[in-house]
Amino acid sequence: MNEQSNPTSTSPALAEFVSLVDGRKARIGILGLGYVGIPLALRFHQVGYPVLGFDIDEQRIAGLNAGESPIKHIPGAEIAAMAAGAFEATADFSRIGEVEAIIICVPTPLSRHREPDLSYIVETMKAITPYLRAGQLLSLESTTWPGTTEEILRPFIEGRGFEIGKDFFLVYSPEREDPGNPDFTTHSIPKVVGGATAACRVAGERLYSVAVDKVVPVSSTQAAELTKLLENIHRAVNIGLVNEMKIIADKMNIDIFEVIDAAKTKPFGFTAYYPGPGLGGHCIPIDPFYLTWKAKEYGLSTHFIELAGEVNRDMPEWVVGKVVDALNDREKSLKGSRILALGIAYKRDVDDMRESPAVFVMEHLRDRGAIVEYSDPNVPVFPKMREHSFDLSSVAPTPAALASYDAVIVLTDHSDFDYAQILEHAPLIVDTRGKFREDHPKVVKA
């Protein structure tokens, strides 16, 4: 057999790596203990592998080692069981030599100029490169532009004198976490894997196959990187479309949610997407711009993708316009009005604040002179964020509290909210999520 059909026959290092994985003796290193890294660490631990987690947040490290969950939808009992077993979290990156598999799950945000910021990846590679050893596999899971694995990571590894595909294995396998979605978990979501060589792909397939139900191999790391971008751009474009449709329907005095419900009865050719106050989460608002940036290197313009981005970016301001109009209809000014933002996480029933459109709505309101507070059972204190600042704690949505505001804006439709109580006591409701479907004099649909 040639290397393409049986790479283990020409790579003793690959054969050894596969043997360690198959024997449950491979140690797994997870770099970045957040919404992606923690579920991955849990899964590898649950199927019998020792896990060493790396992070720069000392408080998070201490909490995980004490068995505490830092993420709402991950049960504390699962973290406690992991901490009591073969798991340890550390900030000591020199220990990277202790593991066989290195999985990088660090953020890839955008800069202020909407360009890719790979500083977390680069700094991680700088921290671990001196301690890499032969026989290891390094997998990047962070979303990024096609070519990152080869152009950014590979030089670090080869600079140590390793030959990729022979004595070191490099793969890209994009994360596909959907925080708070009970229908899909780390092990049930198929895992795309692309290798820098055929041997690398085999190593990656073997590693992930022990933790997930289905592995989907692709021909290269670039193909895997573009797969992730296509998935997220697909959502961003369709959400941009339905947000634009919402604006049109609003002008025509048509309920867009009624239209979507009717359209989705078609058993083919239509997938329902729902509008909101904008786009949130770490992936959907950011990832399309990784491709638009990379496309410029090839002299291409991504008109369709960028247009969807503009529509989604402008939604918070459109929502604020609806608040202004609703207050004006009640002979009130936005300036000085007390506004309650109902739900500020980026999606229902999670505590994830990354790129939450609710924050942009709150900022627009504050900048125009409104007195803004929020209520979110999953976010008791407004977190420290890189580009946003509110010194606020969550307000309990009691009848008296609801009645004290000039307007309540439904920004994130958490299941814990009592919507009947909100309708009864709030003097004005601006609904961006379609929670109040029946016409009501208190409700303005946005």
More confident call, 5 vs 82: 82
Determine which one of 40, 211, 218, 283 is catalytic: 283
358/70 Cα distance (integer angstroms): 22
Q: Which residues of 165-187 are buried (b: 16+ CB within 10 A; e: fewer)?
A: bbbbbbbbbbbbbebbeeeeebb
| Confidence label for 11 from pLDDT (cuts 50, 70 and 90) | confident
What mean pLDDT is predicted for residues 392-396?
Answer: 97
Cβ atoms within 10 A of the Cβ of 74, count? 16
* pLDDT tens digits for range 38-50: 999 999 999 999 9
DSSP string, 38-54: HHHHHHHHHTT--EEEE
pTM metric for this prediction: 0.91
Residue 442 in this model has a pLDDT that exceeds 50: yes
Work out the pLDDT band at 5, boundaries 50, 70, 90: low
Asked if the model's pLDDT at residue 112 lies above 80, the reply is no
Residue 113: the pLDDT is 77
pLDDT digit string (tens) for 213-271?
A: 999 999 999 999 999 999 999 999 999 999 999 999 999 999 999 999 999 999 999 99
**Does residue 105 carry a catalytic annotation?**
no
Per the structure block, which two tokens stand in for 222? 């670039």
Q: Is the pLDDT of residue 15 over 60?
A: yes
355-388 confidence digits (pLDDT tens): 899 999 999 999 999 999 999 999 999 998 877 8
Distance, CA of 53 to CA of 96 (rounded, Å): 10
Distances (CA, A) of 53 to 4, 64, 76, 351: 33, 9, 17, 22
CA distances from 354 to 140, 193, 330, 399, 428 (A): 20, 26, 34, 30, 28
Residue 407 scores a pLDDT above 70 = yes
Q: For residue 59, how many other CB atoms are within 10 A of its CB?
A: 9
Q: Which tens digit of pLDDT belongs to each residue from 34-88?
A: 999 999 999 999 999 999 999 999 999 999 999 999 998 899 999 999 999 999 9
Please give the structure tokens belonging to residue 236: 């961003």
Q: Write down all domains in the chain, each with its CATH number in brackets.
A: 7-223 (3.40.50.720), 243-445 (3.40.50.720)
pLDDT at residue 7 is higher than 80: no
Query: Residue 163's pLDDT is what?
Result: 97
pLDDT in tens, 131-185: 999 999 999 999 999 999 999 999 999 999 999 999 999 999 999 988 778 888 8
Q: In 322-385, at which residue ranges do the beta strands (DSSP E only) sit?
A: 338-342, 371-375
Closest CA to 88 of 120, 58, 65: 65
What would the mean pLDDT of 194-217 be, rounded to a whole number?
Answer: 98
Rounded CA gap, 409 and 48, in Å? 46
Which residues are 51's β-sheet partners?
Answer: 28, 87
pLDDT digits (tens, 9 = 90+) for 300-335: 999 989 999 899 999 999 999 999 999 999 999 999
Residue of 289, 422, 417 lying closest to 345 (CA atoms): 417
What's the first-to-final CA gap in the chain, in angstroms? 62
pLDDT, mean over the chain: 94
Nearest to 116 by CA among 311, 295, 286, 354: 286
